[in-house]
Amino acid sequence: MLMYEIDRNASEPVYIQIYDFIKEDIESGIIESGKKLPSKRSLAENLGVSVITVENAYAQLIAEGYIKALPKKGYYAERLPDMPVQKIKKNEISAEEYSSGNNKLSELFPFTAWAKLIREELTMKQTTLMKDPPAEGVYELRQAIADHLRSFRNMEVKPEQIIIGAGTEYLYILIRILLGDQSVIAVEEPGYSRIADIYGSLGMRCEWIPVQDDGIDVDALKNSNADVVHISPSHHFPTGVVTSVGKRYSLLGWAAEGRYIIEDDYDSEFRLSCRPIPPMFSIDVTDRVIYMNTFSKSLTPTMRISYMILPPPLLSRFRERMKSFSCPVSTFEQHTLAHFIEGGGFERHIRRLRRYCKSRRDYLMKLVSENELFRNADVSGSSAGMHCIVRFDTDLTDDELLTQVRNMELKADLLKDHYHFRPEHDLHTLVVYY
């Protein structure tokens, strides 16, 4: 069955989105020519849309010659006259393809498009490239990010609020400068250990707050000395927990008393199914949320481009304290990226990445369903990102478990290794990466 992610907040009507997805899949060969498409009713059910919507999409595809309707038989993909070379892999991948996947994500980087864009910039925008941008970054890029967030994340952000940084660590440095060295920062337990490591290197004091099934423990947070908390409410690493709406409001309530929330939306582009939850930044009316994101996962970590969105009070503080600083990212790459986003290349690239991740997730799930070791295992957190959590029903020790799973050529590590205060008992739980 075709699985597409419909964005109900997009400016494009849903039937156009479905039309676009199918058209692209036919052009790229994911839907082979001559193949039967699902019935209107079953696709509608699957995507959670009305039959009329699918009918409109199919009608448009018929009109443009992408599919044909055979009476009493259904809809079939047409043989396209100028079928391009099949570049994108089918959703199903082999074990060999899966285990060689480590390099694949980087191979997906759009080198050709990027080379073309950067050459254009170097030819056409020489004077602009030599101009010092403000400390916040190149305006065109901030504008492109604001537009992207509007259509992709349904966020209303002014380009003026966006600060470009050289990777997330640089943003942490800015936060340290903005909040001062007396701040105590709460981080998630378990979590990305690098976050606390970096704040620690910058001389900030950290407190570790447990993550529950619906997000960080707000009571523990209230009992701590923290005046700022760094969380990933959309998709927590490694547990995959999505912070509930109730908890989001409790957190905002906590922050309203002069504190701050850093909302780390690091893998929002990788949502594989279901509708994305709006970021906390969008429901915050008290100006206490700092939104943070990066192009490390959606493009490449080696280009070092990240950004954060500051609420107005911190924005004025930024302008005052950072007036002697320059934006640390090359104007060459800022302008090229702006161009890439504006021209639609970035969204196409994300769709490609997401399809790739989904195919790897599906392969993993198939493996899980067939393998004895995974019997009664509980898989969670697989609706987004590039990893999931598997809780095993087993008497094996964590180390034995890890060895067995790694022998299956899966990339995995122990959940307990992601704790700062590492539990002494086994959790029988692994983080498995697609």
Q: Which of 81, 130, 372, 424 binds a copy of itself (CB under 8 A)?
A: 130
Q: Please report how close the Cβ of residue 176 comes to a copy of itself at its closest, in angstroms.
A: 9
Closest alpha carbon to 123 in 332, 374, 419: 332
Angle at 384 between CA 392 and CA 275, to 5 degrees: 125
Sheet with 429-433, strands from edge to edge, namely 378-380, 387-391, 429-433, 411-414
Candidates 13-21, 93-101, 295-303, 384-392; binding stretch for a copy of itself (CB under 8 A): 295-303
Q: Please report how close the Cβ of residue 118 comes to a copy of itself at its closest, in angstroms.
A: 6
Q: Which of 29, 167, 215, 240 binds a copy of itself (CB under 8 A)?
A: 167
Backbone angles phi, psi at 185, to 5 degrees: -110, 130
326 vs 369 by CB, closer to a copy of itself: 326
Q: Is 300 in the site for a copy of itself (CB under 8 A)?
A: yes
Q: Is 123 in the site for a copy of itself (CB under 8 A)?
A: yes
66 vs 199 by CB, closer to a copy of itself: 199
The dihedral sign for the CA sequence 67, 70, 71, 74: negative
Specify whether the CB–CB gap between 303 and 168 falls below 8 A: no
Specify whether the CB–CB gap between 248 and 276 falls below 8 A: no
Q: Please report how close the Cβ of residue 281 comes to a copy of itself at its closest, in angstroms.
A: 25
Candidates 230-238, 328-336, 353-361, 413-421; binding stretch for a copy of itself (CB under 8 A): 328-336
Q: Is 111 in the site for a copy of itself (CB under 8 A)?
A: yes
Candidates 3-11, 39-47, 302-310, 392-400; binding stretch for a copy of itself (CB under 8 A): 302-310
* Mode of pairing for the β-strands spanning 289-294 and 260-264: parallel
Backbone angles phi, psi at 269, to 5 degrees: -75, -10
User: Which x/- pattern, by CB under 8 A, does the window 330-359 give for a copy of itself?
Assistant: xxxx--------------------------
3-state secondary structure of 152: helix
Q: Is 109 in the site for a copy of itself (CB under 8 A)?
A: yes
User: Which x/- pattern, by CB under 8 A, does the window 24-53 give for a copy of itself?
Assistant: ------------------------------
Q: Which two tokens stand for residue 410?
A: 């899966």
Q: Which two tokens stand for residue 201?
A: 């290197």
Q: Which of 22, 149, 242, 329 binds a copy of itself (CB under 8 A)?
A: 329
Q: Is 297 in the site for a copy of itself (CB under 8 A)?
A: no
Q: Is 1 in the site for a copy of itself (CB under 8 A)?
A: no
Q: Where are the alpha helices (DSSP H) in 100-256?
A: 104-107, 111-124, 126-129, 139-153, 168-179, 193-201, 218-223, 245-256
Q: Which two tokens stand for residue 172?
A: 């942490």
Q: Is 170 in the site for a copy of itself (CB under 8 A)?
A: yes
Q: Which of 73, 82, 84, 132 binds a copy of itself (CB under 8 A)?
A: 132
* Mode of pairing for the β-strands spanning 184-189 and 205-212: parallel
CA distance 145 to 164: 10
Q: Which of 30, 58, 101, 133 binds a copy of itself (CB under 8 A)?
A: 133
Q: Which of 2, 59, 322, 402 binds a copy of itself (CB under 8 A)?
A: 322
Q: Is 424 in the site for a copy of itself (CB under 8 A)?
A: no
* Backbone conformation region of residue 330, classed left if phi is above 0, alpha if psi is from -120 to 50, else beta: beta
- Binding to a copy of itself in span 189-228, by CB under 8 A: 194, 197-198, 201-203
Alpha carbon distances (Å) from 311 to 163, 243, 260, 402: 11, 21, 10, 43
Q: Please report how close the Cβ of residue 343 comes to a copy of itself at its closest, in angstroms.
A: 17
Residue 291 pairs in a beta bridge with 263, 309
H or E stretch covering 74: strand 74-77
Interface residue list for a copy of itself (CB under 8 A): 103, 106-107, 109, 111, 114-115, 118-119, 122-123, 126-127, 129-133, 166-167, 169-170, 173, 177, 180-181, 194, 197-198, 201-203, 300-305, 321-333
